Each structure stands twice: as structure tokens, then as C-alpha cells.
Structure 1
Amino acid sequence: MANFIKAYNNDPSVGHLSTPITSSAVTRAILQNLPAYRFGLTPLLRGLEIGLAHGYFLIGPFVNLGPLRNSSISLLAGFFSTIGLILILTLGLTIYGLATFQDEKLDSTTNFDLQTKTAWNQFKGGFFVGACGSAGFAFICLSSIPTFTVT
């Protein structure tokens, strides 16, 4: 086991261990295909794709595990709870953007970097629209499935 785990780049002061998982080409390929790291996406598209994934899967726990799970309005309550959580998450993105990006970078030549105030606002808007849209799509999909009751 000790032969597989060593210091990253053989430098013990880095504070990162190089393991077969963290150093593999498969792990690197998976991480490079995530929307946060994919090359060539605008901040709006990054936020939209991340929001689509989150909004679609957030509704399930609220519907199945929420306090109204055994009522006839569990799907509607889960949908509204999901929209509420999306609003809270977007508020958190807003606060982070206000605290981190005080001034606009003047030397920014690319629009693909999330390190500016304008790009962060585009990312935040894309996240909100994508998350609300996919939560609505999941609501429509779930409302067309008949419910089964166990007796």
C-alpha cells in the first residue's frame, strides 16, 4: 500500500498525496468534463448546466421525505420547497459574488473566466433559470406518474 501512495510530485511540502485514484487519467478526464472545468463554456452556460442538474434532482427528497409526503399535495409542496431552496442557493451565490468580486477586472480579455463580477452574475442567472426550469420539468414528469398506495 505504501508503494502506491506518495507525495504529489515527490514534494512532501505540498500537502497532497498522489494515489492511484487522484493521479489517474480517468479521474482527470471525468473532472475536466464537469461544467465548472470544461473549456469553452461561457459563464451563463456553466450556470445553466449546473442549475439543470441540481434543480432536477432536488425535488425528489422533498416529495418523498418531506413532512407532507403522505398527503395529496406532496408533489406540489415538494416543488415549492425546491423552488425555495433554489432561491436560498441563488441568494448564497449573490452574497458570495458581492463579497468576492468588489471591482471589475480591467485586464480581463476572455469571457470564459468566472473571476469577474459580470461573469459571476451571468453564472448566477444561468443557475437560477436552469434550476427552476428543471425543477418544473421534474414536477411535470412526476405529476404524470400514477401513485401507488400500499394497503
Structure 2
Amino acid sequence: MKKLILILMSCLFATGALAETQGFQLSFIPDIAIHSRTTHIKGVSLNLWGENPQTGFALGVVNGSTGNSSGISLGLLANYAENYEGAQLAWIANYSSAKLSGLQLAAFNYAENLHGVQVGYVNFADTSDRGVQVGLINIMNNTKQWFRNFPNEIAPVMPFVNWRF
């Protein structure tokens, strides 16, 4: 009897975990959407403005990814995320408040910790362990001196290209 109760409780908890992951999201704004903003979307998100943890493809005007997210975010205006692995592509801005591993392509790109490539007019990385920036203004805040550690890093601010390895 104890084993049966334990098995039934395990199934109940497993079913609850599956209910928190969905394959499709349609969002007008984060609070007016098919699924709540805490539901992990493992598949496709179509958004006017969406905000979910996601693994997959997000297409929208503004795409927000919370927690650890990955995939491709294609935003007409902007993409924002906490930890993102993959590609953020937008016309105006990409923002990663924690770590970006992958590619940011927009007019303005920001990553708290860059591990990848930023391409845009203005690129900013507060810290970078491995990163390349291509654009008009490229800022790597944790590079403190100009050409001191070349070829591993260039400078705090550079036009056209900047890197840190």
C-alpha cells in the first residue's frame, strides 16, 4: 500500500512538472497570453510583447525571455533576457541582464556578461570572458587598459572592432 501511494504521488508531481512546459505561446502582452509568464515555452512563441522562459523560437515585436532561456529571438523592436544562449536579433535593441552566450545583432546591444558576438552600431559588455564586438562604438567595461594585453584583448572602447579572450 505504501508503494502504491508513493507511486501515485510521484505521478502527481511529474504531471505538475509537465504542465509547466508548453510547446506554443501566443501573447498580446505578458499578462494577456495563452499561458502565464512563468510557463516555460519549449517550441514557438508569437508575441506582440511576450515574456516567458523559453527554449526555441520567439517571433514578435518585443520578446522577453526570463531565467535560463535559449534558441532564437527575432524581435521587430527589441529582445531582452536574463541568461540567454543562442541568437537575439532585433532592429533596435538586445539586452541581457546576466549572461549572453551566442549572438546579438541590433542597433544597440548590451550584455552584462558576454560570451559570444555583438554586431550593431553600439555594443556594450560590462564583463566578457570571450567576446567579439563589431560596430561603430564597442565597449568592454572590464578591459581597463589600452593594448596592454594584446592580442588577447584590445581596449575599453574601440571603433569598428573590439575583443577579449
Same fold flag (TM > 0.5):
no
Please tell me whether Structure 1 or Structure 2 has the larger radius of gyration of its CA atoms: 1
Structure with more strand by fraction:
2
TM-score by length of 2: 0.24
TM-score by length of 1: 0.25
Structure with more helix by fraction:
1
Higher RCO, 1 vs 2 (CA within 8 Å, ≥6 residues apart): 1
